[in-house]
Amino acid sequence: MTDVRAGHRGERTREKIALRDRGGRGDPSPLGTWFWDIDRVLLLLALFLIAIGLIAVAAGSPASAVRYSGEHLKFAPLHYFWRQTMWVAVSLPVLFVVSMLPLTMARRMSLIGAAVCIALMVFVPFLGVSVNGARRWVGFGFAQFQPSEFLKPFFVVTVAWLLSFKSRDADLPVTAITAGLTGAIAVLLMLQPDFGQTVIFCTIWLALVMIAGTPTRVIVGFLSMIPVALVAAYLFYSTATKRIDAFLFPGVEGEGAADHFQTNAAHNTLTSGGWFGTGPGGGTVKFGLPEAHTDYIFSVIGEEFGLLACMIVALTFLAIVVRVFVKLLDEQDPFRLLAASGLAVQFGAQALISMAVNTGLAPSKGMTLPFISYGGSSMIALSMGMGLLLAFTRRNPFLLRSPYIAQQRWSAE
């Protein structure tokens, strides 16, 4: 009788332990492991930006609907909001699934994705869909996407993987190889033309070679080439010439005047709401703003929700970048260090350029604000990039503290 009672007590104890471990730190299931190893603060910041983006697209959608409606085609005021909601519903599973990938699988997916996107970009200038004078999209009708948007996170991981070989053999010419790859991509982007994305790719590459420990003299050499490259772009690349002329010389005529009108309209919209904004749906200046739901959505946030809301958005982007770099301070794996820091640089640089254009501090570049601007390609690609960032910063804080726990985790896998 005593043995029976002891058996029941043991069974109840095992059930309690199982219930305690399910969803707890000791949960060995893939979902439980992912939840406790993921950077939940980083994930919450990304979800916060996505939520802000839905609100901002809802605010900018009526202005864009009016602008793009014609005699035979009428868009509903919230047309772009409902489409963006659909894209978010598609993107969130992508973000979560990619963040669960093992390191090797995430790297392999990125290398294959980079090769596919570069191959597609070769044909974009010739077979791509033309929108607003630029050929950046491939596909037909509803199923159009922008290969360069998807290439950005894959490019970061690819360059990080190549540069990580320096830790094994310092004599490998990986810096030159990555420079050639970046230059080829820049040429393909300028053929579209897409000057803003060219700046992003070059910025990412320069940041990665600096983080990889490239000698100072080489870094100084690369930095000294930036003014030369800008002058050459101004002299020989017509898109850059028009954008820079519009930014430096407000009285310029032609396409440059149109670009200057856009930056002026964005600045006026941004500041028209004051510190606290006109309230949701109360903005009127936004109806004179081109691309209110995409490139200039930051200005719509300023008009309807105020400059304080803009500051919150900017600080959220800053918090994501700072969070990643602080988390990487004790990272020992060169590849994970380079991949995660490069993805953070990509995210932060794109946000910085987009906000600079909206505030009139940079020429118009057609740059979307990450997770906030409308767009299917942008939303899915950014979700994929954030998923990779979460995968590369995922770690179990107990693995290095206790060999027993490490051995138990490995045996469970």
* Per-residue pLDDT band at 159 (split at 50, 70, 90): very high
pLDDT at 409: 43
pTM of the model: 0.84
Q: And the tokens for 246?
A: 């519009």
CA distance 241 to 222: 22
pLDDT at 413: 43
Written as one string, the DSSP assignment of 157-199 is: HHHHHHHGGGGT-TTS-HHHHHHHHHHHHHHHHHTTT-HHHHH
Positive/negative CA dihedral, 346, 350, 356, 359: negative
pLDDT of residue 110 exceeding 80: yes
Highest mean pLDDT among 139-153, 176-190, 277-291, 389-403 belongs to 176-190
pLDDT at 86: 94
pLDDT of residue 19 exceeding 50: no
| Better-predicted residue by pLDDT, 251 or 120 | 120
* Per-residue pLDDT band at 397 (split at 50, 70, 90): low
Q: And the tokens for 393?
A: 């910063």
- Tell me 134's DSSP state: E
pLDDT at 251: 56
| End-to-end CA, the chain | 39
Q: Is the separation of the CB atoms in 363 and 72 below 8 Å?
A: no
Residue in 158, 89, 70 with CA at minimum distance from that of residue 385 = 158
Q: And the tokens for 275?
A: 């510190």
Highest mean pLDDT among 237-246, 277-286, 308-317, 350-359 belongs to 308-317
Q: Per residue in 25-66, pLDDT tens?
A: 556 666 767 777 888 999 999 999 999 999 999 998 888 888
Quote the strand ranges of 195-346, DSSP E. none
Mean pLDDT of the chain: 81
Tell me the average pLDDT across 82-99: 94
Q: Per residue in 185-243, pLDDT tens?
A: 998 888 887 878 888 999 999 999 999 887 888 888 888 888 888 777 777 777 777 77
Q: Which residues share a beta bridge with 137?
A: 129
The angle that helices 255-271 and 297-327 make with each other, rounded to 10 degrees, is 80
Q: Per residue in 278-307, pLDDT tens?
A: 888 888 888 888 888 888 899 999 989 999
Tell me the average pLDDT across 127-152: 74
Burial of 252 (0-12, 13-18, 19+ CB in 10 A): middle
Q: Is 134 left (phi over 0), alpha (psi -120 to 50) or beta?
A: beta
pLDDT at 250: 63
pLDDT at 260: 63
CA distance 136 to 125: 7
Cβ neighbours of residue 315 under 8 Å, at least 6 residues apart? none
CA 54 to chain centre: 16
